[in-house]
Amino acid sequence: MTALLEFVRYLLNLYSWVVIASVVLSWLVAFNVINPYNTFVRSLMMGFDTVTEPFLRPIRRLLPRTQGIDFSAIVLLLIVFFLQSVVIGSCGSGFLMPLACQQ
């Protein structure tokens, strides 16, 4: 059970880095630092959108409209960090990991 929770924590950590990379890439495209018509950049953008958009879309529907600023990635990162630290935790904390460490 502990190995499974550690694997889930690893996947959540990896996903948080994917969300951060997606945000940075979108900023670089928005400020014309990199060319969005480059095939490598376009494939990266499509890959990041495929992975992050299913989780960002419901958050965007719940958040109020702002003037061109998208806070959905911040909310998604907060949810991922909450799942990592509070729900899974480590052997001394969290909801699930102490139960797995007792066995």
Q: For the segment 3-58, what is each residue's pLDDT rounded down to a tens digit? A: 888 888 899 999 999 999 999 999 999 999 999 999 999 999 999 999 999 999 99
Q: How far apart are CA 64 and CA 88, in angstroms?
A: 30
pTM: 0.86
37: alpha, beta or left? (left if phi > 0; alpha if psi -120 to 50): alpha
DSSP SS3 for 96:
coil
Do 32 and 53 touch, CB atoms closer than 8 A?
A: no
DSSP SS3 for 27:
helix
Q: How far apart are CA 22 and CA 81, in angstroms?
A: 17
Q: How far apart are CA 38 and CA 57, in angstroms?
A: 26
Do 50 and 56 touch, CB atoms closer than 8 A?
A: no
